Amino acid sequence: MSTQEHIVEGRRVTFPVRIRDAAASAAVYPVRADRVRPLVTGTGLDVAAAAGRTLAVLAFVRYRVNDLGVYDEVGLAVPVRRRGRLGAHVLHLPVTATFTMAAGRALWGLPKWLATAELSVEPSLTTCRLDAASGRVLDAALRTSSPRLPFTLPARVTTLAPRGDVVLRSVARGTARGVRLGHSAGLRIGDGHPMAADLRALDLPRRPLVTVGIEHLAFEMAPAVALPR
């Protein structure tokens, strides 16, 4: 079998994995670096910070046309460094379908877990009710401005995911169209789940630094590269 092909739950996944159309939004919060460090303890990663501050990103994605199927996803990530290289470390990545959960874990080391979500990603408003088996994780509402940017932007995300004695480095490259920006978000955190506990531990401010809405997101995911810790 080619190194660009993998079998996940009896299905063949061929790289690059293509996400042809998704809608997404995110809220970016400034937080204290000492609030983040306990959440990455034992990963071999360092929090990327300046003057004792860093960022926490809460993202919401509806995958509409995707090699891994149609599903919704919520992500909580923080910026980290590994030997001078920057990347995003995903703390939690709940999804609403089992196959993408298995593929994300197996191929990129992403901490996907199965959840239920009532997610709506509209041009200027995103709402989400996220639940786990243990109960409510969060309720969120993100708002962006009405005018959208009149051009397509390049998009690139590098994730760093520890697995055993290596760190999996994965790169996604694509484009974002119909981008809107804002500064308004409401977030109510639930109880009884590790993601809710981590959100509380971050001590997020009431107002995000910025909110971003993307009407059409497309990207390709390359195979993960294993780097020694």
Length of the chain in terms of residues written = 229
Contact 126, 120 (CB under 8 A): yes
Distances (CA, A) of 58 to 15, 61, 224: 27, 10, 23
Contact 222, 16 (CB under 8 A): yes
What are the structure tokens assigned to 116, written together?
A: 């239920």
Average pLDDT in the 158-180 region?
97
Q: What is d(CA 53, CA 37) in angstroms, rounded to the nearest whole number?
A: 11
pLDDT given at position 229: 83
Give the number of other CB atoms < 10 A from CB of residue 84: 6
At residue 1 the predicted structure's pLDDT band, cuts being 50, 70 and 90, is very low
Chain Cα centroid distance, residue 93: 6
Side chain identity at residue 114, one-letter code: L
Q: What is the pLDDT of residues 37-65, one digit of tens each?
A: 999 999 999 999 999 999 999 999 999 99
Average pLDDT in the 190-202 region?
96
CA-closest candidate to residue 213, choices 155, 94, 151, 126: 126
What are the structure tokens assigned to 80, written together?
A: 């980290």
What are the structure tokens assigned to 219, written together?
A: 């990207």
Element (H, E) at 138: strand 135-143
pLDDT given at position 3: 58
- Tell me which CATH homologous superfamily contains domain 17-228: Acetoacetate decarboxylase-like (2.40.400.10)
Q: What is d(CA 39, CA 22) in angstroms, rounded to the nearest whole number?
A: 29
Q: Hey, where are the domains in the chain? A: 17-228
Higher pLDDT, 83 or 157: 157
pLDDT given at position 52: 98
Lowest mean pLDDT among 105-109, 193-197, 225-229: 225-229
Strands 46-47 and 53-66: unpaired
pLDDT given at position 146: 78
Give the number of other CB atoms < 10 A from CB of residue 71: 19
Q: What is d(CA 206, CA 13) in angstroms, rounded to the nearest whole number?
A: 41
Average pLDDT in the 164-177 region?
96
Q: What is d(CA 74, CA 83) in angstroms, rounded to the nearest whole number?
A: 28
pLDDT given at position 225: 95
Question: Angle at CA 45, nearest 5°, toward 40 and 48?
Answer: 90
Give the rounded percent of residues in the chain with a pLDDT score beyond 70: 99
- Largest interatomic CA distance in the chain: 50
Q: What is the pLDDT of residues 87-114, one digit of tens each?
A: 999 999 999 999 999 999 999 999 999 9
pLDDT given at position 2: 43
